[in-house]
Each structure stands twice: as structure tokens, then as C-alpha cells.
Structure 1
Amino acid sequence: MASNNYSTSQKSLHWIIFVLVVGLYGLTFGDDIFQRGDPNRAFAWWLHISFGMLLAFLVGWRVFLRLVKGTPEFPLSMTVTERVLARAGHLVLYALLIAIPLLGIFLTWYRGDALSFFGLFTIPAPFLPDRETARSIKELHSLCANGILILASLHALAAFWHHLVRRDNVLKRMLFIWR
């Protein structure tokens, strides 16, 4: 990509996905807030699954756009080490953004539940429930969810470091700046 900025669609997806990841993480606290059998607990999980499916779709769209539109060039001021770390960080973020929804889908199915997308359609489990497998997938899903929060925080800190210390355009290329 010859431009120094991401496209409007890439910026939009970046921020929508950020909000979805934080919101989905927040919905997991329904287990702590509501007792077993409380309809609000089931509703929180229904929302978590529906928004998780939306996340899977949007991440797929984002990966497609990245492949088609590319990314802006790194600022010349970035060292080779910074460029390698930036590429590795983005690669791991994308891997987690793909893995987390997929693990959530399999977790839902191994629990014996159908996937429901906001009640518009459902996808039944293609196999029988398996509590042991579901438990293992849940642990991995949770580990990846915690990992993405940590990595996204480091990602944000790096962007602020570039903006406030290096004073380059790394952060600005992902912001909507109107003139």
C-alpha cells in the first residue's frame, strides 16, 4: 500500500473488533454476577456467542482486506528490530483473533449446544457433547482471551510510545483524523 494510512474500512474494522473483544471479555463476567439457572446468565452467554460469531466474520473480512489492500509502510525512523517486533505482534494478534472465535464455536458444540446468531439462525452441533473435550477447549479459549488482552495492551502502549516519544505517524495512521 503506497499510502501512509490504513483505508477507512481497515480503520473501522480495527476499532469495531477492539470494542467487540473488550465487550466479549466483559460478557464472561456473567458467570460471576448471575447464579446458575438465572435467565440473565444464559442471556449473557447467548450474547457472548452471538457477538463471538460476529467477531469471527469481521476478523475474516479484516484478514481479506489486509491481503487485498496491504498495510502502510513503516516509518523510516523504525529500526529493524522494531519492524520485526511489529510484524510478529500483528501476526500473533491475528492468530488469536482467528483462534478465539473458532475455539468458542467448538466449545459451544462440545457442550452440546447449537450456535445461535442473535436468534436469526442456529447451527446445531455436528457431534455429540463431550465434557472433557469441552473443558480442555474452554481452558484454551480462556488462555487465548487473556493473551489477546495482554498483547493488545502492549500494542496500544507501543502506539502511544510512537506517538508521544518517537513523534512519528504510527498511531495516526489508524485514527480517523478529520481536517
Structure 2
Amino acid sequence: MTSNTYAPAQKTLHWLIFLLVIGLYGLTFGEDFFPRGDPGRDAVWWLHISFGLLFAVFVVLRVGVRLSRGAPQMPPSMTEIEKKLAHTAHFLLYALLVVIPFLGIFLTWFRGDALTFFGLFTIPSLVAPDRAIASFIREVHSVCANAILIVAGLHAVAALWHHFVRKDDVLRRMLPGT
């Protein structure tokens, strides 16, 4: 990529995925508002699964666009260690973005449920229900969800540091309209 900014598709997918990460994380706490057996609790998980599938589609698109378009060069003012840290953070973010939805899909299936996308279509489970495996996957899914918040938070802090302290274009190149 020769531009010093990301393509509009990359920016759009970046911010949509950011909103979905926050929304999906928030939905995990939505079940706490309803007692077990309450239809509201089921609705929260139905929404979590539906938005999770949308998240998975956006992640596939984002990875595809990133592979085809690349990324702008990092500012020459960045040290080699800063560049290595940035590459590591991006790798971790992408790895978590890919792993989390797959864990969610398998968690749903091993719980014995089908995947449904806002009631428009359903994907039946491809595996036999297994509570022990489902429990393990739920733990890994939860750890990864917490990890993506931590890594994304550090990513955001670094972008703000570049913008306000270093006064370079690291943040601006991912902002809409630039």
C-alpha cells in the first residue's frame, strides 16, 4: 500500500468490528438482568449469537481486505521496538478476532443449540452436544474476549499517545474522512 492512510473499506470494517466487540461484550452481561428460564435471558443470547455471526462475517472481510490492500507504512519516527510492538499487537488482535467467533460457534453447537442469524436462517449443530467440552470452550471464549479488550485497549492508548504526544498520523490514518 503506497498511501499513508487505510482504505475506506478498512476503516469502515475497523470501526464496525470495534462496535461489535463492545456490544457483544456488553451482551454477555445482559443475561444477568434476567432469572434463569426467563425468555429475556434467551433473547440476550439469541442476539449475542446473531451479532457474533455478523462479527464473524466482518472479520473474514477485514482479513481479506487487509491481505489484499496491506497497511500503510509506519511513521519513520517510530523506533524498531515500537514497530515490533505494533506488529505484535496487530497480530494478537487479528488472531483473537479470528479465534473468538469460531469458539462461539463451537460453544453454541456443543451446548446442543443451532446457530441462528436474527431469525433469518439457522445453521444446525454439526457436533453432538457435550457439556464438558462446551464448558471448556466457554472458558477459553471468555478468556479470549477479555484478552481482546486488553489488547484493543492498549492499541487505543498507543494510538492516542501517537496522536497527542508524538503528534504523528498513526491515529488519523484510521479515522473516517481522512
Supply the distance in 1 between the matched residues of 2:66 and 2:11 (Cα, whole angstroms).
Answer: 11
Task: Name the count of aligned residue pairs.
Answer: 178
Residue 138 of structure 2 aligns with which residue?
138
Query: Following the alignment from structure 1 to structure 2, what is the Cα–Cα distance between the partners of residues 152 and 83?
Result: 16
Task: Output the CA distance in 1 between the equivalents of 2:47 and 2:28.
Answer: 10
Matching residue of 2:57: 57
Q: 1:35 corresponds to which residue?
A: 35
In structure 1, stretches of 5+ residues that fail to align are none
The alignment's C-alpha RMSD in Å is 0.7
Identity of aligned residues (%): 62
What are the within-5 Å matches in structure 2 for residues 124-163 of structure 1? 124-163=124-163
Deviations 1:102-136 (A, max 9, x none): 00000000000000011111111112110000000
* Corresponding residue of 1:94: 94
Cα distance in structure 2, aligned partners of 1:171 and 1:177:
12
Question: TM-score, length-normalised on structure 2?
Answer: 0.98
Aligned structure 1 segments of 4 or more residues deviating by more than 2 angstroms: none
* Residue number in structure 1 paired with 2:82: 82
Query: Which amino acid counterpart does residue 132 of structure 1 have in structure 2?
Result: A
Aligned-pair CA distance for 1:158: 0.1
**Amino acid of the structure 1 residue aligned with 2:89:** G
Amino acid at match of 1:50: S
Q: Secondary structure at the match of 2:122?
A: strand
Unaligned 5+ runs, structure 2: none
Aligned to 1:109: 109
> How far does the alpha carbon of each residue in 1:35-85 deviate from its partner, in whole angstroms, 9 at most, with x for none?
111111100100000000010110000000001011001000000000000
Corresponding residue for residue 70 of structure 1: 70
TM-score by length of 1: 0.98
